[in-house]
Amino acid sequence: MTQAEIKLCSLLLQEHFGEIVEKIGVHLIRTGSQSLRVIAHDTGTSLDQVKKALCVLVQHNLVSYQVHKRGVVEYEAQCSRVLRMLRYPRYIYTTKTLYSDTGELIVEELLLNGKLTMSAVVKKVADRLTETMEDGKTMDYAEVSNTFVRLADTHFVQRCPSVPTTENSDPGPPPPAPTLVINEKDMYLVPKLSLIGKGKRRRSSDEDAAGEPKAKRPKYTTDNKEPIPDDGIYWQANLDRFHQHFRDQAIVSAVANRMDQTSSEIVRTMLRMSEITTSSSAPFTQPLSSNEIFRSLPVGYNISKQVLDQYLTLLADDPLEFVGKSGDSGGGMYVISILTTCHLLSSFLSRFGSRCARIFRLVLQKKHIEQKQVEDFAMIPAKEAKDMLYKMLSENFMSLQEIPKTPDHAPSRTFYLYTVTILSAARMLLHRCYKSIANLIERRQFETKENKRLLEKSQRVEAIIASMQATGAEEAQLQEIEEMITAPERQQLETLKRNVNKLDASEIQVDETIFLLESYIECTMKRQ
Amino acid sequence: MAGNKGRGRAAYTFNIEAVGFSKGEKLPDVVLKPPPLFPDTDYKPVPLKTGEGEEYMLALKQELRETMKRMPYFIETPEERQDIERYSKRYMKVYKEEWIPAGPKPKKAKDAGKGTSLTNTADVLKKMEELEKRGDGEKSDEENEEKEGSKEKSKEGDDDDDDDAAEQEEYDEEEQEEENDYINSYFEDGDDFGADSDDNMDEATY
């Protein structure tokens, strides 16, 4: 884990879980797997707090544990999982677009709590939705459960590994920590039986209470005497599936940009068909026959078979190789590399200027090129070209390839060729992204801290106004209270708000770049 | 030695033309200090994307940040004691549900002989074992309960629970009687809402 990543993890943990958890988490990320006592000793925190922090981290799937021989339990942190926390808004928003508010709240609850039983999720979401609905209406548990089942079917939520049931029969002393197992086919299996029964009962108790205001609902209902039907079955959000979805989205939009809407629809159909059959990191989708595609096209597109075939041929012949014939019918990963290249290019544009981008594209195209040739092909004056080349070289976006003419490698008699390896350039950029997000978060925290006094004041004034309005105050009094915040202060607040929003938005967008770069690096490494 | 050629005139081992400086031209100054902290950029950055989706995500992000702070998972650092107990502090405290997973059970001494480690680690391991042996069910059940402020851990009669349950009950009452926005009747499903909390029932205020 690089320093930049560790810094970012520490900032994220601190923001979401507080300082103690951050200390423990960062320590684990830095030092690899450790046992409980060592952690407590090294970080200087009390055992009690370490345990609490570890519980929180394990609950959120950020730390895993393992039993080593000699009965020692060691904890290990997953740094990449911590970095995913940046992406929570994107996950939730995606679910909203796919499954509307219910789905959105389900995923939000799962992300906020790490692991939850299905009944807990359904209950929470139903309650939240009921609060936003009009008085007297309540959210049906069945509807929430339906959405949950749909999410499970499309693999957006999955079961957590659980304690194996055979452990009870073990005669010897139980191990200090169970090894959790999960059966592959059980991962998306929703406990169906309990669902139906529960739904009815809950609904009735809900309906009873519907007449009275929620606050007066009796604390005691018969339901709670019985144990939860799906005790021990915990669900978590399946982040890989979300990533797959993002990737598909990126591919489809790239196709749409390059060609027209219809071809992007075709590609989208192909991807959707292979959503569940292909694992998330496969380089190609399963081969699909054009008949299948034809049958699965969305209803709105009534294009004939011939037109479809034409489109497919077009896609296949495209130099970017989105779609390949027969053997590999989906060049998913090729597209990712193209997208990565585009990102690299655009980052160049912003940082070094369009000429630099031109040089970069040229070197990319020619694979290996000499300095003199760069000037000629790019049509840029020699001095500038050299300047830019060296700048890029120093930033490690380019590398030099030496080809000696003579065995003694004399510099004056050696060819030096510039070349770009996308992989290393991608890594460089990724590292920069981590640093920039860390900077953004720090700056945001700094800004908020600077204006803390002002923020608190404005919050207090708002609270006063709200309470006065509730008790029915006159307009004049409200005016007076509002004037407690002077105009320049108001302006300061405005600026602060604008800055914080900008910083937040930048974080979200840098995270998109990070996603693309990370998936590219991952699939390239897999292919090698 | 070999570098001193031509009476002080510099000569390079490679063709200086290739690097870009013509013969005799002034070389750039030697850099004597670190580069500036915020160098001027010649080019403005690309503007941020704006759109309905982005705005929604922005609002979500800020909301999530706030919510996380209020969740029981957010463990606050205990403040150091101040010299003077401020009166206003009492009224500014935020009441958060305490999330305690199946935590330490100091009275549980029935160690089934790990043997390989010191007593301390055995104890600690036993606690973790407790935590895990009950399965995540126990832990999260408690988490669910705790979160609502109603602690009932009456699973399979564990005596040691009473200790914790007792402490938590006191805390529980204190929290429930507090005038706050939390709906006291709201609780997690399923868990044995055992006899102990009966006395709380009468005091439930609305």
Kindly state the DSSP code that residue B180 receives in the 8-state scheme.
-
Report the gap between the CA of A325 and the closest CA in chain B (Å): 36
Q: Does A238 have pLDDT greater than 50?
A: yes
Q: Does A81 have pLDDT greater than 80?
A: yes
Q: How many helices (H) and strands (E) does chain B have?
A: 7, 0
Strand arrangement, sheet containing A63-67: A34-35, A73-77, A63-67
**What pLDDT shows up at residue A399?**
83
- Predicted confidence band at B17 (pLDDT cuts at 50, 70, 90)? low
B-contacting residues of A 475-494, CB under 8 Å? none
- Predicted confidence band at B156 (pLDDT cuts at 50, 70, 90)? very low
Q: Does A232 have pLDDT greater than 60?
A: yes
Q: How far is CA A51 from CA A36, A55, A225, A452, A518, in A?
A: 8, 6, 31, 32, 32
Pairwise CA distance, residues A126 & A214, whole Å = 13
**What pLDDT shows up at residue B161?**
38
Pairwise CA distance, residues A5 & A29, whole Å = 10
Q: Looking at the complex, does the CB of residue A134 fall below 8 Å from at least one CB of chain B? A: no
Q: Kindly report which listed range (A25-39, A145-159, A441-455, B96-110) carries the lowest average pLDDT score.
A: B96-110
B189/A505 touch (CB, cutoff 8 Å), yes or no: no
Residue-averaged pLDDT of chain A: 73
B129/A177 touch (CB, cutoff 8 Å), yes or no: yes
Q: Kindly report which listed range (A211-220, A291-300, B18-27, B139-148) carries the lowest average pLDDT score.
A: A211-220
Of B53, B76, B125, the CB nearest to A18: B76
Report the gap between the CA of B101 and the closest CA in chain A (Å): 7
Q: Does B151 have pLDDT greater than 50?
A: no
B114/A36 touch (CB, cutoff 8 Å), yes or no: no
Phi, psi of A67 (to 5 degrees): -95, 125
Hey, what long-range contacts does A303-310 have (CB within 8 A, 24 or more apart)? A303/A262, A308/A266
Instruction: With H, G, I as helix, E, B as strand and everything else as coil, classify residue A24.
Output: helix
* Mean pLDDT of the region B183-201: 51
Q: Which chain A residues are within 8 Å of B139, Cβ to Cβ?
A: 55, 59
Domains A84-164+179-200+231-237 and A352-420 fall in the same CATH topology: yes
Q: Does A355 have pLDDT greater than 70?
A: yes
Question: A147 is written with which tokens?
Answer: 């959405």
Q: Which CATH class is domain A3-77?
A: mainly alpha
Of B113, B140, B189, the CB nearest to A224: B189
Q: Does A2 have pLDDT greater than 70?
A: yes
The pLDDT tens digits for A261-287 are 777 777 777 777 666 555 544 555 555
**What pLDDT shows up at residue B174?**
44
A123/B189 touch (CB, cutoff 8 Å), yes or no: yes
- Predicted confidence band at A196 (pLDDT cuts at 50, 70, 90)? very low
Residue extents of the structural domains in chain A: 3-77, 84-164+179-200+231-237, 240-338, 352-420, 425-524
Q: Which chain A residues are within 8 Å of B182, Cβ to Cβ?
A: none
Alpha helices (runs of H) in A60-87, residue ranges in sequence order: 79-83
CATH fold of A240-338: Arc Repressor Mutant, subunit A (1.10.10)
Q: Looking at the complex, does the CB of residue B113 fall below 8 Å from at least one CB of chain A? A: yes
Pairwise CA distance, residues B131 & A177, whole Å = 8
What CATH architecture does domain A84-164+179-200+231-237 belong to? Orthogonal Bundle (1.10)
What CATH architecture does domain A352-420 belong to? Orthogonal Bundle (1.10)
Pairwise CA distance, residues A178 & A210, whole Å = 43
A96/B131 touch (CB, cutoff 8 Å), yes or no: no
Q: Does A61 have pLDDT greater than 80?
A: yes
Q: Which chain B residues are within 8 Å of A56, Cβ to Cβ?
A: 73, 75, 99
**What pLDDT shows up at residue A200?**
24
**What pLDDT shows up at residue A201?**
25
Of A52, A88, A507, the CB nearest to B75: A52
- Predicted confidence band at A327 (pLDDT cuts at 50, 70, 90)? very low
Beta strands A414-419; A399-404: pairing state: antiparallel
Q: Which of A86, A83, A127 is nearest to A105 (CA)?
A: A127
Query: In terms of pLDDT, which residue wins out, A257 or A167?
Result: A257
Query: In terms of pLDDT, which residue wins out, A73 or A320?
Result: A73
Of B46, B77, B143, the CB nearest to A346: B46
Q: Which of A344, A383, A336 is nearest to A363 (CA)?
A: A344
**What pLDDT shows up at residue B188?**
55
- Predicted confidence band at B91 (pLDDT cuts at 50, 70, 90)? low
**What pLDDT shows up at residue A384?**
82
Longest CA span, chain A? 93
**What pLDDT shows up at residue A236?**
83
**What pLDDT shows up at residue A121?**
81
Interface with B, mutate which of A11, A15, A59, A205 (most B CBs under 10 A) = A59
Q: Which chain A residues are within 8 Å of B74, Cβ to Cβ?
A: 16-18
Pairwise CA distance, residues B144 & A55, whole Å = 14
Pairwise CA distance, residues B195 & B185, whole Å = 16
- Predicted confidence band at A225 (pLDDT cuts at 50, 70, 90)? very low
**What pLDDT shows up at residue B18?**
54
**What pLDDT shows up at residue A134?**
66
